[in-house]
Structure 1
Amino acid sequence: MIQYATKKGDIELVKKIYDSTQVPFKRLDKHSYFRSTQTIDNAMMIAYSRSKNFPMAKQFYNKIRQQTTFPNADAYGAYLVCVCENTADEFAESMNIYEEAKLNGVRPTVYFYNVIISKLAKCRKGDTALSLFDEMKNFGITPNSITYASVVSACVRCSFETSAVKYFNEMLRSPNYQPRIGVFNSMIQFYVQQHPNREKALEYMRLLNQNMLKPTAHTYRLLIEAYANIPAYDMITAHGFIAEMQKHGVQPNASHYATLIQSYGCLHRDVSSAMAVYNEMKKAGVPADNTVHQVLLSTFIENNEVSRAEEYYQNMLASGKSSSPYIENLFITCYGEQKQLDKAEAVFGKMVDHAAGSKSVVREPSTYIAMVNAYQANNARDKAQEVVEQMRARQLPVKLIKRVQELI
């Protein structure tokens, strides 16, 4: 009943069911009471973990541990998802929970391995993810489609091309394979963005169709990139995907238009075509987001139309739209290259280190790098060093600060 209420997302019902067990369970003999409360507490730990209530999930985790026992593998898996959303070091937390479960003889499940391999993929720990995948199979646990998707994702994120292809093909041969769009998108994205190869990207698109999967909005964006960003460019085909999406019931969004704008404006240096796509987007009733604003500003700046970029930026703010660190970085870099340090400093100065409820834009690590580069381009080494000290004061990662220091 708790599992059912958890799937329905009804945490109030979960609480009522749990409360209803407290009095009758006390009538059980000692052994039955222990086993029953252990089962219910695991279910509650899962329920609160999946509802993203970390304090309550932690409370039931502690309760289980106080009974000199350990959560089951599924409870550990759900808890791992919740913990990693409340920590800055997902890899360390993932391995801590994995080691605790393994050390205490918790019987692993496919769900437990799926969660931890997925976390390792996100952290770009490909070797560790593949090691656990082998361990999983050695335990006699059969990987499912989610497992393979996580393993392929780990390989893709770490540029393990041979392994990505190997496990993708192994997935297709698996007797219990159920096609999922995400893993196909991962392979297409790998050959569009990391190792540009349009033919290989299209090969996985053909496999996607053969498996009777419907392309998503993300799939179409990758296809647009495949033709717009990989030589030999084919802008007619790239642009044609906007109409094809609509034909197949997939609504184009700002990211699709942004991809075309960036290709026309920054790769082809064709500002008029970039603006034509922007106007087409407005006509279609698709609102511009920060990505669109950023690629349009990049288009103007990279084509030496800085005053036009400044005018667009002011109109953007006047219309109630907010800026972003990456938009501000564009201007810092631009002004630095133009030897207009006062303007670069003004942009950097109006940004803040921490959100304070205002509309000020918070500096990203890339913002400090942009400002250091601007000072370096203008032989202002002392001021560049001051920016590094600001990074130290903000306690940014030591490796990042060291890399920026090396620039100076």
Structure 2
Amino acid sequence: MGVYPRTEVIGRLIAAMGRAGELEKLHELYQGAQLVLTSLADEKQAQSLGWFLIEDQMIIGLAHADEVEAAHVHRMRILEQSGSPSADAYGALIENVTDTTDDTTNALTLFEECRARGVTPNIYLYNTVISKLAKARKADHAIQLFHQMQAEHVRPTSVTYGALIAACCRVGDAISAETLFTEMTAQKNFKPRIPPYNTMMQLYTHTKPDRERVLHYFNEMRRVGVKPTAHTYKLLMDAYGTIEPIDTAAMQQAFDTLVADPQVAVQGTHWAALINAWGCAKKDLNQAIAIFESIPSHPSTKPNSRQPDAVVFEALINVFVTLRCPELIAQYRARIPELGIRMTAYIANLLIKGYAAAGDVVEARNIFEALADPPEGIAAPFNHAPHGDQPAAPLNHLNLPDGTVYREPSTWEAMVRAELGHGNRDEALALLERVRARRFPPAVYHRISGIMLDDSVSPWGRGSEASAPSTP
């Protein structure tokens, strides 16, 4: 009673409670810290250092608890007192810059502030910034930071290399990705982790199709004792189901191995891979439908698993669009409530494409207009299924109404293509004005407006038959 730990201990507890999502306990600790700081009135230096430490840990705790705006309040308190947050605090803020339309710019702004204030980046901060750059396909900038980190004698980890490899893979730079992978595995502190192996498999499955290289990294992964994840199995299935020559027997074997793996659950992405291979690659409509209809009764489908889900449904609609089956699009669209599937922007994109191709641009418009725009500056939520190896990120902090389906930039692209495909240039220009009003990042706006330069544009686009769904 009446006895409090040192500020250093309280600070560590605040950060821990934030990571655990225990906000009430976090704030209780913060209030307790104020009492400790008041008791240090006769030790001004200790009081000042303690105050900065507690504010810094509040940034870390709140950022990890997804209370980013509150974390920035404590950041500003430190800046207003002519101090600087720690590298860990900047890393936490940057890591949790999410759900905005330009995460990378916001993250780099924080990193530049950190450097301008003389804060020395640590490995966590470097890894976080490089990861953000990787996701934004800014491979050159990521490698530049990597060299800067090495010049400052900060030793890279497997996480660093994983992020760099991902950056190179996203821009299709297979040579740099291979070089970095080899360099990573040669490091004395190398600890095999699944992400780089999955990244290399994905590079050679979707970006630069080469089944032999996919299997090389899959076998290397097994050799070093890394267990496959849901995403690994999905990539392995795609390697057999999308790369010519299509090998449906090997794809089915990979799926059967997944079903038999007690450590990994069958997910919508795996069913989608089967449907896409049979429907889009093999052009076997009946088999694609049969797979979809078999899901509820499959042994791997547990009660309340919500399968088939939106990802599976999207794959089926993509088959109908690819094989020009507008009557089936309408038939299965009507079953959405019965199936308990949540509409997403990506399903809507395919419906827009399908109806436009069937000559019904009015219904395509109806689908488009039934969607909503997220608040300005916020990335469209609820459209993405969780990544194969990760749970869905909570979005409660956005206070967005449940059940609303939000347009993605690709939805605007689909509708512009639909209008142009029917010769409705004025309607397409009107859509572009609405896009401009949304204040998307310049790269997004230019990508959408660039469609207007293609006189031969059609709602089908080029190479649609070989495309896979869920392209942002």
Map residues 11-90 of structure 1 onto 2, 5 A cutoff: 11-25=23-37, 26-82=40-96, 84-85=97-98, 87-90=100-103
**2:419 pairs with 371, 375, 391, which one?**
375
* Counterpart in the other structure of 2:468: none
Judge conservation of contact 1:333–1:344 (CA < 8 Å) in 2: yes
Q: Is the Cα contact below 8 Å between 2:134 and 2:167 reproduced in 1?
A: yes
Partner of 2:388: none
Q: 2:237 aligns with which of 211, 224, 227?
A: 224
Offset of 1:4 from its aligned partner? Answer: 4.3
| Alignment equivalent of 1:283, drawn from 274, 293, 297 | 297
Q: Distance in 2 between matches of 1:300 and 1:88?
A: 31
| 1:388-399 equivalences in 2 (<5 Å) | 388-396=432-440, 397-399=444-446
What's 1:251 paired with? 265
Q: CA shift at 1:86, angstroms?
A: 6.1
Q: TM-score, normalised by structure 2?
A: 0.80
**Aligned residue for 2:314?**
294
- Could you tell me which amino acid in structure 1 is paired with residue 225 of structure 2? M
Structure with the higher fraction of residues in helix conformation: 1
- 1:394 shift after superposition: 4.0
Task: Give, in angstroms, the shift of residue 389 of structure 1.
Answer: 3.4
Pairwise mapping of residues 255-334 of structure 1 onto structure 2 (< 5 A)? 255-284=269-298, 285=301, 287-334=307-354
Cα distance in 1, alignment partners of residues 75 and 284 from structure 2: 59
Measured at CA, do residues 136 and 19 of structure 1 come closer, stay the same or move farther in structure 2, by a change above 3 Å?
same
Counterparts of 1:246 and 1:402, CA distance in 2 = 44
Q: For residue 378 of structure 1, report the CA deviation from its aligned partner.
A: 2.9
**Which position in structure 1 is the counterpart of 2:155?**
142
Letter in 2 for 1:238: M
2:379 corresponding residue in structure 1: none
Q: Aligned partners of 1:247, 1:319: CA distance in 2, in Å?
A: 26
How do 1:150-229 residues align onto structure 2 when only pairs under 5 Å count? Answer: 150-229=163-242
Tell me how many residue pairs correspond in the alignment.
407
Letter in 1 for 2:330: E
Structure 2's unaligned 5+ residue stretches are 1-8, 376-399, 456-472
Separation in structure 1 between the aligned mates of residue 291 and residue 93 of structure 2, nearest angstrom: 46
CA contact (8 A) 2:435 2:445 kept: no
Q: Which has the higher contact order (CA 8 A, sep 6+)?
A: 2
Amino acid at match of 2:314: Q
> How far apart are the structure 2 equivalents of 1:262 and 1:337?
20
Identity level (%)? 30
5+ residue gaps, structure 1, are none
RMSD: 2.4
CA–CA separation in structure 2 for the residues paired with 1:384 and 1:361 = 22
Deviations 1:67-86 (A, max 9, x none): 2121111111112223x226
What is the SS of the residue equivalent to 1:68?
Answer: coil
- The code of the aligned residue for 1:384 comes to A
1:239 matched to 2:252 = yes
CA distance in 2, matches of 1:107, 1:348: 48
Question: Offset at 1:361?
Answer: 4.2
State the SS of the aligned residue for 2:195: helix
Matches within 5 A, 1:77-116: 77-82=91-96, 84-85=97-98, 87-116=100-129
- The residue number in structure 2 matching 1:126 is 139
Q: TM-score by structure 1 length?
A: 0.91
CA contact (8 A) 1:317 1:323 kept: no
Instruction: State the alpha-carbon separation in 1 of the partners of residues 291 and 175 from structure 2.
Output: 38
Report deviation, 1:280.
Answer: 3.3
Residue equivalent to 1:406 = 453
- After superposition, the C-alpha distances for 1:92-143 in whole angstroms (9 at most, x for unaligned) are 2222222222222212211111111111111211111111111111111111
Q: Structure 1 residue 173: deviation in Å? A: 1.1
Give the direction of change, closer, same or farther, for the CA distance of 1:135–1:352 in structure 2 (3 Å limit).
Answer: closer
For the pair 1:365 / 2:409, whether they are aligned, the reply is yes
